[in-house]
Every structure is written in structure tokens, then in C-alpha cells.
Amino acid sequence: MIRRRLLPAVLLAGLALAALAAQAGVMTRATLQRHFPPPWTVGEKDAQLPVWPIFKQDMTSPVLAGYVFESIDLAPIPGFSGTPINLLVALDPKGAFLDVRVLSHHEPVFLEGLGEGPLFRFAEQYKGLSLRQNIKIGSNANRGEQHGSANVYIDGVAKATASVRILHQSLLASALRVARARLGFAAGSDPALLARVRRDGFRPMDWDALMKAGLVQRVRLSRGQVERAFAGTGVEEAGGAGEPFDETFIELYLAYLNAPAVGRNLLSEAGWQHLLGRIDEGDHALLAIATGRYTFVGDSFVRGAVPDRLTLRQGDLPLELRDLDLDDPLRLPAALRRADAKVFRVIGPAGLDPARPLDFALRVTREKGMLYGERVSRDFALPYRLPADQVIAPESDAKGWLAVWRTRAWELAVLAGALALLAVVLARPRWIVATPGRLARFRTGYLVFTLVFIGWFAQGQLSIVHVTAAIQALAAGRSLGFLLYDPMSVALWAFVALTLVVWGRGTFCGWLCPFGALQELAAQIARRAGLRKHLRPHRDLDARLKRLKYAVLAVVLVLAAVSPAWTDRAVEVEPFKTAITLNFVRAWPFVAWAGGLVLLNLVLYKGFCRYLCPLGAGLKLLGHARLLKWIPRRAECGTPCQTCRHRCEYQAIKPDGAIVYGECFQCLDCVAIHDSPQRCAPLIARGRQRVIPVHAAAAVRSAA
């Protein structure tokens, strides 16, 4: 019997793990062969890296033509909606893009506004370009010098800058990883093992000390060096008497700014914290300062863009530099306070290794000819290397999901502490329910934690999307190894699976669902503002309404099995993405739906959770594995006492006093009533029935 009751929980755990793998690729060898018909041939999937080799017939033998892969397997960078864009990418052995297609995305601007056509056309521009080029997204403001630029520009999409930039970063990050691992672009090193910058290397240092320690490095180009590089091109400049060839053309200072030994010495404490807040874990902030007659940004450069003249490579691969647009003042010597200074970011997925040399290059471009002007460009190397004592060598287990768990270690520690506290309270609720005020304060505080930390900060909102994606993942036969790359969801699903066996659905729905917490907190605020009590449907109508969520669940699951496109529309019945993931920053129909459900909750308490939530329906079905009837009952419960039933906002108590655990949200209100001599009717009645002995006064006894 116990095994039968445990089976749904086991199935839930497996389904949850598969759901977490849903952000993995969807392609199989057979589907790829349709994308690459003869004369192409798709080989077997690589055992170590999620890529497929593709071959082309050359006379009598097949020749390796490149590798095809999905970006979501290698660089799942969250999009504007919180879900990664998935690209199908084909890369030839020299690092050129054979094909780039959008397989799936959830970008609101392309789903609800511009349509998908502009996004597909944007992706097509990468065909024929190479990873060895500095590919940048152009704009009307930044393309004035493109003919003399060190970059290759492609057209962006107006009103969708953020989304196309995320696609660009996803494409380059995933392709760079394949190029390093399979095309020899990493010079034999393992691209998954990167050094880390030391966080304990700070000591107060002035500018001269930073220069002496090699933390700030100087590169000088004289006018004579530049003229020699242009010798014979017809654009040389003749030096006059007042312009000696040994004068400074440019003097460039380079530094790795987010190394504490550099950043904390060059920025104020407030500026240092501001910098850390502007970059994500694993990103790199690089400082460039220039003096002289030439600089590293052109006249048309705008803040937040990529520089035209300054590029960065590591090994054979370019890395994108983007201006961080920081205004925090730097602690520089007087001679440099009017110099051009910019802080550039390199995103973590680009794979920059701080222990290896950074090969900056400065492009100088000149023109000759009046009618049909010809541009002549030369690149000048600007090497920089962070001192060895500022980096920590990678460990052999720093690959893959372990690194992700490490970076979110403190979030997981906070979550683990909160889940342990909740488990203790639910297992031993007597102290919390001893007084109504204590229970109310604890519950309100925990719901605020759930909404703010689990939901808005850590993005830990579990959703029916996990279930639908799991169905599609299992149908495609994908590996489940990717599940460990989302540690917050793994931890929450594991806890939910465990508590389903112990207590049922209510632990998640009543305590750990951020949208549920938002509804309950909104209802508390409304009550304090004097709004009337909630409507309470008749129990027969309530029972019929509660069946609706099973119909919603069935529709969503059927669509997940037959139509991924319609599944994306159907799962919007959940307001979680709008209210929690996107903080209501979305198209008005979605905001209206989510906001309307919050307002409905003020009239019909948690109406969405009780009557429409497909995830709640699934958890109730799986909650039949519950082993405990943990809410205490008395013989008088239901016959004749109806106190708990009338006080239950969720209408999860039958007239006979039995608890409907599948609809119980585990709020502990009935437990508090059951243990209270002032609120539990049977306990009050027993108190009144006590016989109080009457004793004669001492004077009366004496007289007797």
C-alpha cells in the first residue's frame, strides 16, 4: 500500500528532474538530417559535447564540413522573458557560420508586437561571417566609421535592442565554446576550465604602486612607429620641424578593473560596489585610459556601445568589448584626469580566461584619394596580462553544473535554511500556533520572503511550464544532465516532492509559491484597508469550480504532446511569468490577466489557486502519495462543531469535519483553533462544564 502511495511522488520527482532539463536542446539526428539534406550527412552526437558533426561527400569519402549544435545546450543565457533563446548553429572547421536559425524563443516584443519575421531575418545575417571577425550589432548612431572599423557590423532590430543583443551573446558564447573544444581555437586547453580572479588580494596602493606591480600596464606608440607601419601606402605623413617622429601618438593604460587589488584602489568604495552591481558573476570589467593625439574611440562613439578602434582577442578568437557607461570618478594622477577613460565589459559566457594574455589591438585608419577615397588600416598590438598572483588556477571539478552551484552557493544556503525552518514549523507547529498574533507574524514574514527572495530575486517560481517542457524533453529523448544547471529549481522541486509524501500539496501552494504569496499579501493589505470579507461560494458550487483546474491541466498537457506552439499560448493561463519573472513589465493583455487575478483574489480568496491553477491540479493528484493525516481532529469536529470549517478560507473542510488534504493550503489556522482554549468550541464547552467545589468560609466553619 505504501509503495502504491509513494509511486506518484516518485513520478513527480522524475518529472521534475526532466522538467529542469527542458531548457536543453530539442533536436535529434533525424530532425537535423532534415535540416541538412544530402549531400550533407549528420554524424553521431558527440559523447562529451552536445554537438553533431556534419559531413559532405568528397569524391568517394566523406569530409568533415563542420559541427551543428543548439545554443541552449552550451550558453543558456536568459532572454528578456527569462527563458533562453534557442538557436540552431552550424559552424565550419575554420569558424565560419554555415547556418544560424531560431528554433524557439519567448521574447515578448517578437511574440506580441513586431512578429517573428524581424528576429528570423536578424539571425540570417550571421551566415558567411566568422568567429575570427569582431561581429557587432550596428545602429544609426554607431556606424559612421564602420568602413574604417575593426568590427563587422550587422543590422539590429528597432525596438528590440535587448532581445537581439541576447541572441547575439547566446550565439557567440555557444559558438566560441565549440570552437575552443572542437576546432582547436583554445590551443589545446580545456575551455571549461577557466582561472578565477582572487578576491582576497586587496591592499591599499597608489597609482605608482599599481604600475610597479603590473596591475596597471602602459603601452606607448610613437608617431614614428605609426608612420613606419604605413610606409609605402601613400598615406604617410611627413614630419615637420615641430613634429618629431618620437612624439607620442597614443599612450594607453590597461587594467583588469574587477580585480579587487585594482578596482578598490582606483574607485571609491561606493564606486566599487556600483561596479560589482553592474556586472554579473563571471563577467570581466576592463579599464582603458588614453592620452596623446589619438584615442581608442571614434568621434561617433556613443555610451554603452562597442568601440570601433579597440578590439580584444584571446588566442585566435575575438571577444566583444562593450562600454559599461560608468560615471564613477577614478583615482588617477593629475596628468591623466582629463584623459579618455572607459570601462568595458566582457560577458562571462564569452570564455575569457584572466590567467592568459589579453591581446588588445588598436586600429588606425587613413584615407587617400578625393573622388574615390581609399581607406588604409593598420592594427597595433597592445598586450596585457594580469599578474599571476592575482588569479586562482581552475580546479579539475570546476566544469559544468558544479560551477553554477558554486556561484549560487549563498542563495542555496539561504533557501536551505528557510526550507529547514518551514519543515520544523510544519512538523512541530504547537509553539507557532500558541497565539494568533505569533502565527500571523510568522506567516506574513515567510510569505514576504517567498515573494521577494524566492520569486523576484532568485526566480524560483515553479510552473506548469516545467511539466509541459518535460513532456517535450522526454518525447525527444534528450539527456537529463542539463537539469543540474538550475540549482534553485532543483532544490525547490526536491523539497516539494518530499513534502508531497509527508503533508501533501499545501506546503508548496500555501508557503512556497511566489504568486500565491503575492495574492495572500494583497488580501492582507485589503483587509487592513477595510475592504469587505471575501465571497464564499456554497460548498456544492465550490466543489464544481475546483474541478475546472483539472480541465485546464488536461488541455495544457494534451497541447504539450501535440503542439509546442499552442503550448506556449496555453501556459499563459498561469500569470507567473508576468507577475514574478517579468515584474509586470509586459504587453498589456498579460498584465491585465495577472493583475485581474490579483484583484479577483480580493473578492474570491485565492480564486486562481483554488479553481484554475494547472500546477496546483497536478500537485493535488500527486499528493495522494501523502502518508500522514497531520491535522489533529476531535470527535466533536463536524458533529456538532463547525468552527474550523467556517473559518477555513480555502473551504477545505467537509461538514463532517474531515480535512480535504488535496485542497488544504496548510495555513495552520485550523491547527491554531484546535489548540486554543479560547477559540475551539469543544474546549470552551468542556471548560464550562467543570464542577467548581464550594468551600465554607473560615468564620462559618468556626461557628458550626
pLDDT at position 268 over 80: yes
Q: What average pLDDT does range 524-548 have in this prediction?
A: 85
Least confident of 535-539, 548-552, 695-699: 695-699
Please say whether the beta carbons of 513 and 461 come within 8 A: yes
Structure confidence by residue, pLDDT tens digits, 502-524: 888 888 998 999 999 999 999 88
- What's the pLDDT at 161? 73
Percentage of residues of the chain with pLDDT beyond 90? 17
Give the chain's radius of gyration (CA, Å).
32
Domain residue extents for the chain: 36-182, 196-392, 400-624
pLDDT at position 543 over 80: yes
Backbone angles phi, psi at 350, to 5 degrees: -65, -20
Structure confidence by residue, pLDDT tens digits, 645-681: 888 888 888 888 888 888 888 888 888 888 888 888 8
Structure confidence by residue, pLDDT tens digits, 315-351: 767 888 888 888 888 999 988 988 889 999 887 767 7
- What's the pLDDT at 419? 94
Please say whether the beta carbons of 683 and 674 come within 8 A: no
Within 13 Å of residue 292, how many CA atoms lie on the same side as its CB?
A: 19
Query: Is 631 or 394 the better-scoring residue by pLDDT?
Result: 631
- What is Dmax (Cα atoms) for the chain? 138
- What's the pLDDT at 193? 65
Backbone angles phi, psi at 137, to 5 degrees: -90, 120
Residue 499 host element (H or E): helix 487-502
Average model confidence (pLDDT) for the chain? 80
Question: Which three cell numbers mark 600?
Answer: 479577483
User: Cα 153 to the chain's mean position, in Å?
Assistant: 28
How many Å apart are CA 624 and CA 505, to the nearest integer? 9
Percentage of residues of the chain with pLDDT beyond 70? 82
- What's the pLDDT at 208? 92
Q: How confident is the model at residue 69 (pLDDT cuts 50, 70, 90)?
A: very high
- What's the pLDDT at 111? 77
Question: Which three cell numbers mark 602?
Answer: 480580493
How many Å apart are CA 130 and CA 151, to the nearest integer? 12
- What's the pLDDT at 693? 53
pLDDT at position 21 over 80: no
Q: What average pLDDT does range 208-227 have in this prediction?
A: 90
Q: What average pLDDT does range 389-396 have in this prediction?
A: 75
> What is the secondary structure of 377-421 as a DSSP string?
EEEEEEEE---GGGEEPPPTT-SHHHHHHHHTHHHHHHHHHHHHH
Classify the C-alpha dihedral 527-532-533-537 as positive or negative: negative
Residue in 566, 591, 563, 567 with CA at minimum distance from that of residue 577: 591
Neighbour-count burial for 109-121, b at 16+ CB within 10 Å, e otherwise: bbbeebeeebbee
Structure confidence by residue, pLDDT tens digits, 72-99: 888 888 776 667 889 999 998 888 899 9
Strand partners, 84: 78
- What's the pLDDT at 37? 85
